[in-house]
Amino acid sequence: MKITILDDWQHTIPTLACFARIAGHDVTVWNDHTKDVDVLAQRLKDTEALCLIRERTPIQAPLLDRLDKLRLISQASVYPHIDVAACTRRGVIVSSYNFPGQPSWATAELTWGLVIAAMRRIPQEMAALKAGVWQTPPIGMVLRGKTLGIWGYGKIGAVVAGYGKAFGMNVLVWSRDAAREQARADGCAVAASKEQLFEASDVVSVHLRLVDATRGIVTAADLARMKPTALFVNTSRAGLVAPGALEAALRAGRPGMAAVDVFEDEPVVGGKHPLLAMENVVATPHLGYVERNQLEGMFARIFDQILAYASGTPINVVNPEALAK
């Protein structure tokens, strides 16, 4: 089969052990990124199986209608970037393994790394030290005894809450009813309201899926309730925050800091994003799930889905109607 892998920005996928599973197939790996439909249509014109790395490239009807040879899209996790209806109409199978019941340990660990880096100003002090300056203001803060606010007590939020407890923090949760009950069972305090979560917390970390109901759910008013010494953390999706609200809140001084791993339009190149110009922001280029062990597990499933399709028994099919076509 002719297989194409998009958006391998760090030149990693061919170095994974599982890459050997598709030996003998005609594989093309693209290391750059484009959303240009004309460019993608040219690159993918002979592709039969397309491998995606999460939501990096949207696959919508205008592109799909130009890919006559495409038969399978193989990926892992959620698929809001794929026009599944258009795939079904064209007989393109979408196979996606969703890792049921398993948190993204890599994302949870990166979240905690950002919390520590921001609260102790590690990136800023590193930059100052390399520039010849010894200890710069303002001074950092310890986590022990402070309140960690978790909005979204799902698989990742629960792991981050556990890290907070290990660091001696008081964990305060706001989430759906069932998740709040689980948080109580796990020994966490539950906020009386979303407003209280933002007002009382020294660190607020959001762990929500981005769907229509959660887009822009973190408002300017929410951020304005935070302490001037507080930290806002987002390793989930940038779209959870109302457009421009975080930048404006940081300029207004509430919260005093932010740590982000996600941006509205990715990848961000050339440093062209207002958050990257702020001294009180620690930012990383969407590294949450980007870790060798996690990519190994992800692509083992992605390649298994391709092999299953090639053998005539597709697995993890999200649009079974396409099988009839």
Averaged pLDDT for residues 153-158 = 97
Is there a single domain that holds both residue 144 and residue 275? yes
Calculate what percentage of the chain has a pLDDT beyond 90: 98
Q: Catalytic site residue 286?
A: yes
- Residue 8 has what pLDDT? 98
Name the strands in the sheet holding 203-206, side by side, starting at the edge strand that comes first in the sequence.
Answer: 189-190, 170-174, 147-151, 203-206, 231-234, 257-260, 281-283
Confidence class for position 101, pLDDT limits 50, 70, 90 = confident
Q: Are residues 35 and 146 in the same domain?
A: no
| Whether 110 and 90 share a structural domain | no
User: What is the side-by-side strand order in the sheet with 72-76?
Assistant: 26-29, 2-5, 49-51, 72-76, 93-97
**Quick one: pLDDT band at residue 99, thresholds 50, 70, 90?**
confident
Q: At what angle do helices 155-166 and 177-185 cross, to 10 degrees?
A: 30
The arithmetic mean of pLDDT across residues 298-309, rounded, is 98
In terms of phi and psi (left: phi > 0; alpha: psi -120 to 50; beta: otherwise), the region of 50 is: beta
Number of domains comprising the chain = 2
Q: Identify whether residues 77 and 95 lie together within a single domain.
A: yes
Query: What token pair was written down for 57?
Result: 């490239």
Q: What is the CATH number of the domain that holds 24?
A: 3.40.50.720
Among residues 71, 207, 225, 286, the one annotated as catalytic is 286
pLDDT tier, 30 (very low <50, low <70, confident <90, very high otherwise)? very high
pLDDT at 170: 98
N-term to C-term CA, the chain: 19
> Does the pLDDT of residue 299 top 90, yes or no?
yes
Q: Is the pLDDT of residue 325 over 90?
A: no
- Between CA 309 and CA 114 the distance in angstroms is 40
Q: Find the catalytic residue in 71, 237, 273, 301.
A: 237
Domain shared by 93 and 111, yes or no: no
User: Over the chain, what is the mean pLDDT?
Assistant: 97
Q: What is the Rg, in whole angstroms, of the alpha carbon atoms belonging to the chain?
A: 22
Residues 212-256 have pLDDT tens digits of 999 999 999 999 999 999 999 999 999 999 999 999 999 999 999
Same domain, 132 and 266: yes
Q: Which two tokens stand for residue 249?
A: 């809140």
Sequence length of the chain is 325
Catalytic residue among 199, 266, 296, 321: 266
With a cut of 90, say whether residue 208 has pLDDT above it. Answer: yes
Give 135's DSSP letter: S
> What was the pLDDT predicted at 21?
97
**Percentage of the chain with pLDDT > 70?**
100
266 given a catalytic annotation: yes
* Same domain as 113, residue 93: no
| pTM, 2 dp | 0.94
Give which of 108, 47, 93, 56 is closest to 78, Cα–Cα: 56
Average pLDDT over residues 267-285: 96
Q: What confidence category does residue 102 fall into, taking pLDDT thresholds of 50, 70 and 90? A: confident
pLDDT classification of 41: cutoffs 50, 70, 90: very high
Q: Which residues contact 66 (CB under 8 A, 6 or more apart)?
A: 37, 41, 45
Same domain, 96 and 117: no
User: Smallest Cα–Cα separation from 228: which of 199, 208, 206?
Assistant: 199
Residues 78 and 195 reside in one and the same domain: no
H-assigned helices in 65-172: 84-89, 105-119, 122-130, 155-166
pLDDT of the residue at 234: 98
70 shares a domain with 185: no
Q: What is the pLDDT of residue 189?
A: 98
Parent domain of 56: 2-101+292-324
242 and 308: one domain? no
- Do 166 and 268 lie in one domain? The reply is yes
pLDDT band for position 261 (cuts 50, 70, 90): very high
